[in-house]
Chains A and B, each alone.
Chain A
Amino acid sequence: RKEVEQDPGPFNVPEGATVAFNCTYSNSASQSFFWYRQDCRKEPKLLMSVYSSGNEDGRFTAQLNRASQYISLLIRDSKLSDSATYLCVTLGGGFKTIFGAGTRLFVKA
């Protein structure tokens, strides 16, 4: 079983839609959680950290459920420019950063 699992998608949504991605992790000792965004043929870039209390950054909301060991990312009012692959990332003890394989999102006009 992979340490971090994501639905690979792709998710095809129209502009303006709300879309949600989930991610599950297997290591209960994981300490920190992040969502990264990766555009086609580009490097990953940090989108947002995920806090236990949940956090919001504009149209993006991230939630963490430690009891069920899953993380979610909600994107409201989708834009064409949101089309990308979204990577779920956990940080365990020491320098152990684990990446999910990513969920692809296509936003259509």
Chain B
Amino acid sequence: DVKVTQSSRYLVKRTGEKVFLECVQDMDHENMFWYRQDPGLGLRLIYFSYDVKMKEKGDIPEGYSVSREKKERFSLILESASTNQTSMYLCASSLLQAGTGEKLFFGSGTQLSVL
């Protein structure tokens, strides 16, 4: 069965801390994504990667960075956490099927609270 695993389900950090969110997929997918989900706003794309060591900014990359050193792992980094980064973070992967769009497989999410 397809699996996207996020390292933590709940995380509490203090303002100014450096935060690492890890995501691992076992489907050999090229594409990986990081979203945040906030009430009333839906899912917003932070960063995505379509290959190892490749990354592209999404809609809201400010305050975040990413790392993709291996195909199966995509890390989201909050360099200096702030309270407005309190959110649900969802990792996803996909194998782009030309002409048919793509199916996204999501991890179970990390609820991050920054105090």
**Chain A: residues with CB nearer than 8 A to chain B?**
4, 8, 31-34, 36, 42-46, 49, 87, 91, 95, 97, 99-102
Select which of A97, A99, A100 is within 8 A of B102 by beta carbon.
A97
**Which secondary structure dominates chain A's binding surface?**
strand
**Chain B: residues with CB nearer than 8 A to chain A?**
31, 33, 35, 40-45, 48, 50, 56, 90, 96, 100-104, 106-109
A102 contacts B101, C-beta separation under 8 Å: no
Q: List the count of A-B residue pairs having beta carbons below 8 Å apart.
A: 50
A32 contacts B108, C-beta separation under 8 Å: no
A44 contacts B108, C-beta separation under 8 Å: no
B43 contacts A32, C-beta separation under 8 Å: no
B101 contacts A43, C-beta separation under 8 Å: no
Contacts of A87 in B (CB 8 A): 42-43
Nearest A residue (CB) for B101: A32
Report 9 cross-chain contacts, Cβ distance below 8 Å, ordered by A residue.
Answer: A4-B42, A32-B102, A33-B101, A43-B108, A44-B106, A46-B104, A95-B102, A97-B104, A101-B42
- Docked complex Cα distance between A49 and B97 (Å): 13
B90 contacts A43, C-beta separation under 8 Å: yes
